Amino acid sequence: MRQVHEHLGQELHLELEKLSDPGWYLEADTGTNKTVVRRHCKLAFSALKNAYSEASAAKEFRHRNWFRSPLTLASIQKQLTNLWDIVAENADSYSLTHAKKDKPQK
Residue 7 has pLDDT above 70, yes or no: yes
pLDDT per residue over 24-39, tens digit each?
555 666 556 677 777 7
CB contact set of 38 (below 8 Å; sequence gap of 6+): none
For the chain, the three-class secondary structure string (H helix, E strand, C coil) is: CHHHHHHCCCCHHHHHHHCCCHHHHHCCCCCHHHHHHHHHHHHHHHHHHHHHHHHHCCCCCCHHHHHHCHHHHHHHHHHHHHCHHHHHHCHHHHCHHHHHHHCCCC
User: What is the value of pTM for the model shown?
Assistant: 0.55
